[in-house]
Amino acid sequence: MGRFEWTLDPAFRASNAAAAAASDASASSAPPQPQPRARWRLGALATSGTWDATAPSVFETPMLLSRTRRGEHPHLMPDIMDLLPAEARAFQVSLGHFLDRLGPDHVGNHPNGGRAYFGVRPTCVVLSPRDPIAFETNARNANDDGVFVAGPDGTKPLTVAEYARWIKALQVDAYVSLPDERPCVEVEEVDDDADADAAAAAAAAETARKKVVTAVKRTERWLEACLGADVGGAACLASVQGGSDLALRAEAARNAAARGDAVAGFSIGGLGTFAVVSLRPPLAFNPRPRRLSTSTDAFELHPDIASYGTTLSAGESPGPTRDALIAAVISQLPEDKPRHVTGVSTPLDVIRLVELGVDIMDGAFAHQCTENGYGLCFPLAPKRADGEKEFEPMHAMNEHPDATRHSHQSEFVEETDKDRAIQGGDAWKINLLSLAFKLDARPILPGCDCFTCANHHRAYIHHLLQCHEMTAQILIDAHNAHQYCRFFRAMRRAMREGTFEAFAAFYRDRARRVAGGG
């Protein structure tokens, strides 16, 4: 498509420079290690829009990329997509979904080009080799020829040349350069009751580091190859790897930044790799940490992530370790190009990534909630002193006046911590499979004006889930996508108005107050 242009809001260019100078001055006597600090900024991403270029699009950042399956929203048809905020048409497309028996020509030979293959007319498409929320832990290791990607027909090899053919066929706006992704920590559990052999642990750590060094070098070689390939004018987001090694991360970021205008932005990889954030109810969470043979300390749970499962490696899950890794990368990147991250989870995780300076992230959390029968249920902001409504009106899209009136007249009333815990929910979502909602005539989120909340209630959706009706996922996803887009919009509004710190504090306080809010 040929257009993927990001610009930084000038007001944040000046404020970030001042913040960096103040931070550097205060840390002049400290060891030269990147420290996570607030780098949040607003920007705008311009793309060529729909396949026929009749609707060029501009997205405010920070922004989310909607989860897709084979380039389409997993549950929503075009008519429902039309009712969502415009930013819902920015897609994260995973190439692994296309790796079946049909090659790139099957898509590229579409009468109007590969972009028209997507039925819902996306206005921004970012392609990555793997699915951010489904990565095979037993997949074969990469080699010098390429990586192995999980697809519908099993694990398939993917070379730079084949990747370039797919990029050109799909006519994407931007793509992540082919990465050799390694988990942030090579997990090897040891017996809690026995002391790990120091020599064996050191050898394992050195082996893990050598693998990461090799992965970084491969990723850099493949970036060079991607930049020299025919990709149909798509912009390149340079993948930055490095595992949990701060020095390797910083070096990889510097090398990627040295490409200058050859790259349109950067994708910080290796976060959320080989694991999926748990969506289990908080009562099922086991807070007992595991000891890792490659770490000198047991993994300590960060207070902001009390409901995360332990399937993530220490450097991948939200917390001080990951913050330091991202800070090490961003400190080496130019401020005039966007930063992209996958493996994002709750709204609290989004806020932290924005504080670190991330601009584009995947919206898979909303999709994961849908797949597990959860509806997003949290206020978009604290109540304003001027009495302004928290929920902005959308299109006049309701054909059931009674349902619409019910939704708009209902105020958001917080369930108690006990109720949310018993129902299997947390600070961000309610479990619509819970029998507590069997006769609940309220919409998923009282006060929300999405299609689902305007026309249906919790009891009906609970019934659909119990009957295994696919309509349940359609209705839940329509609400979750709407609510998550509105959350990002509320966050950007707070940034523009200079109230982002209060906005972040509001959600952190909510996570502490409401059960399992991590």
Q: What are residue 429's DSSP bridge partners?
A: 376
Q: What is the pLDDT of residues 431-482, one digit of tens each?
A: 999 999 999 999 999 989 999 999 999 999 999 999 999 999 999 999 999 9
Sign of CA dihedral 517, 133, 72, 111: positive
Instruction: Check whether 405 has a pLDDT greater than 80.
Output: no
The mean of the pLDDT values for the chain is 79
Give the model's pLDDT for residue 166: 94
What does the pLDDT read at residue 422? 74
Provide the pLDDT confidence category of residue 13 given band limits of 50, 70 and 90: confident
Radius of gyration (Cα) for the chain, nearest Å? 23
List domains and CATH numbers for the chain. 379-513 (3.20.20.105)
- pLDDT above 70: percentage of residues in the chain: 73
Residues annotated in a binding site: 448, 450, 453, 479
Secondary structure element (H or E) that encloses residue 150, with its range: strand 146-151
Q: How confident is the model at residue 371 (pLDDT cuts 50, 70, 90)?
A: very high
Q: What is the rounded distance in angstroms from the CA atom of residue 135 to the CA atom of residue 156?
A: 13
Whether 26 shows a pLDDT value over 70: the answer reads no
Q: Which pLDDT belongs to residue 223?
A: 97
Question: How many other β-carbons are positioned within 10 Å of the β-carbon of residue 229?
Answer: 17
Per-residue pLDDT at 306: 32
Name the residue among 245, 197, 191, 248 with its Cα closest to residue 218: 248
On the question of pLDDT at 330 being above 60, the answer is yes
Banded pLDDT at 185 (limits 50, 70, 90): low
pLDDT above 90: percentage of residues in the chain = 48
Q: What's the whole-number mean pLDDT along residues 52-57?
A: 67
- Residue 55's pLDDT band (cuts 50, 70, 90): low
Higher-confidence position of 403 and 506: 506
d(CA 201, CA 216): 23
Distance CA 52, CA 208 (A): 47
Q: Comparing 110 with 222, which gets the higher pLDDT? A: 222
Q: Can you name the residues that pair with 61 across neighbouring β-strands?
A: 43
pLDDT of residue 395: 34
Of residues 397 and 503, the one with the higher pLDDT is 503
Pairing of strands 146-151, 154-159: antiparallel
Cβ(244)–Cβ(314) below 8 Å: yes
Predicted pLDDT at 46: 94
pLDDT of 274 above 50 = no
Euclidean distance between CA atoms 60 and 322, whole angstroms: 25
Phi, psi of 418 (to 5 degrees): -65, -45
Q: Is the pLDDT of residue 146 over 80?
A: yes
| Chain segment 188-220, per-residue pLDDT in tens | 444 454 455 778 877 877 778 888 999 999 999
pLDDT at 38: 62
Residue 282 has pLDDT above 60, yes or no: no
Q: For residue 420, is pLDDT > 90?
A: no
Is residue 91 within 8 A of residue 342, CB to CB? The reply is no
Q: How confident is the model at residue 2 (pLDDT cuts 50, 70, 90)?
A: low
**Between these two residues, 453 and 140, which has the higher pLDDT value?**
453
Q: What is the pLDDT of residue 309?
A: 31
Q: Helix, strand, or coil here: 67?
A: strand
Specify which residues 150 forms β-bridges with.
155
Residue 14 confidence (pLDDT) above 60: no
Average of pLDDT values for 89-113?
86
Q: What angle do CA 353, 211, 235 make, to 5 degrees?
A: 50
Position 279 pLDDT exceeds 50: no
Q: What burial class does residue 442 get, using C-beta atoms within 10 Å of its C-beta: 0-12 exposed, 13-18 middle, 19+ buried?
A: middle
pLDDT computed for residue 403 by the predictor? 38
Q: Specify the pLDDT at position 304.
A: 35
Question: Where is the binding site for Zn(2+), in residues?
Answer: 448, 450, 453, 479
DSSP of 342-380, one letter per residue? ----SHHHHHHHHHHT--EEE-HHHHHHHHTTEEE---S
Q: Which two tokens stand for residue 311?
A: 């399937």
Q: What local confidence, expressed as pLDDT, does residue 190 receive?
A: 44
| Integer Cα distance of 333 and 250 in angstroms | 9
